[in-house]
Structure 1
Amino acid sequence: MINYFGSTEQYIKSALKKLLAALSKVGFDSFLLMIGIMILLAYFLPQPGLVKEPVSLGEIASIGVSLIFLFYGLRLSVEKLKVGLANWKMHIVVQLTTFLFFPLIVLASRPLFAGTDLELLWLGIFFLAALPSTVSSSVVMVSIARGNLPAAIFNASISSLIGVVVTPLWVGLFIASATGDFDVSEIIIKLFLQVLLPVIIGISLNSRFGAIAEKYKKQLKRFDQAIILTIIYTSFCKSFSEHLFEGFTALELVGLAAGMTALFFTVFLGVGLLSRLFGFSVEDRITVLFCGSKKSLVHGTVMSKVLFQHSTITGIILLPLMLYHALQLIAASIIAQRMARRKGV
């Protein structure tokens, strides 16, 4: 007798594996799927993200944030930072793109949003533009495209440290009108205690525990993702409970996604032109392209907890970042794989 159920189950498993493999080639992964699930969960079941007793998910996320950066520091040695300083011209281009070119592009679009119901979305886009570059995905894309990997590690690391100061300074120019309460010095102190201090402690312990952190980097990545998902869930619970998304149409959200795609390619092409004008090598151009055009979801979710700590608008602020994160992974994955098959850039 033919076991139809067994063959059907095997067929479904095989089809799912092929689908996941195809999606991974274009940058889609299970983490992006989990982000979508967290948003849906926040919509249909927001109460767990709002309660403060006996356990607050927000407080758990705050502790988790500090641990993320402690573990990040453990994997970052002083020797790597010293070696990275040599290629200073390339580093300046990457950091200026990340913290100056990006915000100025979004700042130029502000008149399009002024006086409309989309001003909060613009603040979210500007918040995205002021964030540091990604750490892990930038390095991965540079590695796939066969770029300057040590320089990518250095730039991603330095970007994280610079962002602790520069991001709140940029966002502080516009955030007061949206939240009614913003103290730049207080925010920087909070970010120093919650982000920079754990990194410094981690770096100081690198010689003792760095090898252990490197050994369990996959487990640490899962921990990072769990904390990010918790922050996304609690943020959207607050926003949904205040009905903040009811004013946005499907067309506006599609337009936002199109805008995030345009922003990525504008920066990507612009930084590519700059790297050619400076006469960088192929490997260095690849590093500049991926490190300069990407924005960190980790730092965005972390900083949103501090910058918008007592505000219900965090979900809206994070929406452009999450769309950009998904789109940059898909676009960068395709580009990196094509670059890996080419001899020149």
Structure 2
Amino acid sequence: MRLLKRLNIDGFVLAIFSMVILASLLPASGVGADVLDWAVKIAIGLLFLLYGARLSPREALEGFTHWRLHLTVLASTFVLFPLMGLAMKPLAPGIISDDLYMGLLFLCLVPSTVQSSIAFTSIAKGNVAGSIVSASFSNIIGVFLTPALVLWLMETTGSGGIHAGAIVEIVLQLLVPFIVGQLLRPWLVGFLQRYSAPIKIVDRGSILLVVYAAFSEGMNAHIWSSTSAAQIFIVIGLSCAMLAFVLGVTAVAGRALGFSWPDRIVIIFCGSKKSLASGLPMATVLFSGGTVGLIVLPLMIFHQIQLVVCAMLAPKFAEKSNRLAVAEG
């Protein structure tokens, strides 16, 4: 740990890269993939139970009623991102293939992540209650809005069906544990105030599980070998540019609109993310089997980049949160 600090290397970022390497060498498959899927669900459920237990009912209510914050996040997810995707149209087919451009546009249309957005907000000491509502609301709306945008802006060969099961999954996996945590708060709040390690471990451990699961799925689908290395590097570059632009816009917008620092953390993290968990199943429905691999490749690349970048930003934001808390007395 001392060596990592001396070299200015964040151990969490190193752990994420380790998960990528592990999934590349030993991707979970078969029964192992099923066990991993349940492990991810359990970790996320535990994470939201701890969030519920840590937040006071007043903080939770404020998070649920902060509609100005939620509309700002939705504007980034479903307005700013789609406009960026359409702006990249001249790149195809000269710089990138048509399929990869469609993949870039598709990633711009999917909803925000839930678990990682909230986990990073928690690590950065932002408005966790607000992030829970913003990220969850984005996914619920995305179940309806993303297929509609795809059918409007892209050519698809699927049915474009809307899965009500996605809403049920969000409720059961995220909101129910959170409510249970609120109910158990009188018995757990003392322990959580004395020991912050449990939430920190679950926060970061759940993200590592998501990275390993996502990369394993990509390796098993042979996504990385479906196009040339040059095209992959171009998509990586475009993904980095897109993420940098959105991070900049959300940071400036949060400050310009007069949001508090905890709320600005929510806007940055929830407004800049794209959900692989929601995007993959939608892609299988909306596109033919032969093109799905290339369509989801940009989303997989963007997903990994956003996790690494946000893992670097979250501790920096936490330092500023601590400084502001000290200044406010």
The alignment's TM-score, normalised by the length of structure 1, stands at 0.68
Partner of 1:243: 222
Q: Give CA-to-partner distance per residue, 1:212-240, whole Å, 9 cap, x none.
A: 34444423332343343334323333322
Contact 1:272 1:288 in 2 (8 A): no
**Contact preservation (8 Å) 1:74, 1:206:** yes
Q: Does residue 140 of structure 2 align to residue 165 of structure 1?
A: yes
Aligned residue for 2:118?
135
Look up the match of 2:98: 116
Q: Are 2:64 and 2:133, in contact at CA under 8 Å, matched by a contact in 1? A: no
1:71 aligned residue: 50
Q: Select the structure of larger CA radius of gyration.
A: 1
Structure 2: stretches of 5+ with no match in the other structure = none
Counting only pairs closer than 5 Å after superposition, residues 91-110 of structure 1 correspond to structure 2 as 91=69, 94-109=72-87
2:26 to 29, 35, 45: 45
Letter in 1 for 2:78: L
Given that residues 297 and 322 in structure 1 are in contact (C-alpha distance below 8 angstroms), is that contact kept between their aligned partners in structure 2? no
**Are the aligned partners of 1:164 and 1:196 in contact in 2 as well (CA < 8 Å)?**
no
RMSD: 4.3
Taking the TM superposition and a 5 Å limit, the aligned residue runs for 1:183-262 are 183-262=162-241
What amino acid maps onto 1:290 in structure 2?
I
* Partner of residue 156 from structure 1, selected from 108, 128, 131: 131
2:274 paired with 1:293: no
- Asked whether the 8 Å contact 2:107–2:279 carries over to 1, the reply is no
Is the Cα contact below 8 Å between 1:239 and 1:316 reproduced in 2? no
Give the counterpart letter for 1:77 in structure 2: S
One-letter code of the match for 2:249? G
Q: What SS is found at the alignment partner of 2:117?
A: coil
Number of positions where the alignment pairs a residue of Structure 1 with one of Structure 2:
307
Partner of 2:300: 318
**Cα 1:113/1:70, change in 2 over 3 Å:** farther
Aligned to 1:134, what secondary structure does the other structure show? helix
Return the alpha-carbon distance in structure 1 between the equivalents of residues 189 and 92 of structure 2. Answer: 47
Uncovered stretches (5+) of structure 1, i.e. residues with no partner:
1-12, 24-28, 144-148
1:324 is displaced (CA, Å) by: 1.9
Aligned equivalents of 1:34 and 1:185: distance in 2?
Answer: 35
User: What secondary structure, in the 3-state scheme, does the structure 2 residue paired with 1:245 have?
Assistant: helix
Counterpart pick for 1:61 among 31, 40, 44: 40
Structure 1 CA distance for aligned equivalents of residues 204 and 66 of structure 2 = 32
Q: Would the aligned equivalents of 1:58 and 1:231 in 2 still touch at CA under 8 Å?
A: no
**Contact persistence 1:156–1:291 (CA under 8 A):** yes
Deviations 1:76-111 (A, max 9, x none): 22211345578764x255334444344433442463
Q: 1:186 to 1:135 in 2, by over 3 A?
A: closer
On the 8 A contact 1:74/1:199 being kept in 2, the answer is: yes
Q: Deviations over 1:267-317 (max 9, x none)?
A: 344345545664x2xxx3645543222249999466568767999967764
TM-score, length-scaled by structure 2: 0.71
CA distance in 2, matches of 1:185, 1:335: 36
TM superposition shift of 1:36:
2.0
Task: Confirm or deny: 8 A CA contact 1:257 1:324 kept in the other structure.
Answer: no
1:186-230 CA-partner distances (Å, limit 9, x unpaired): 221222222222222222322332333444442333234334333
Contact 1:38–1:229 (CA<8 Å) still a contact in 2? Answer: yes
Letter in 2 for 1:72: Y
Letter in 2 for 1:235: A
Q: Does structure 1 retain, via aligned residues, the 8 Å contact 2:20–2:212?
A: yes
Which residue identity is paired with 1:94?
Answer: T
| Partner Cα separation in structure 2 for residue 270 and residue 167 of structure 1 | 21
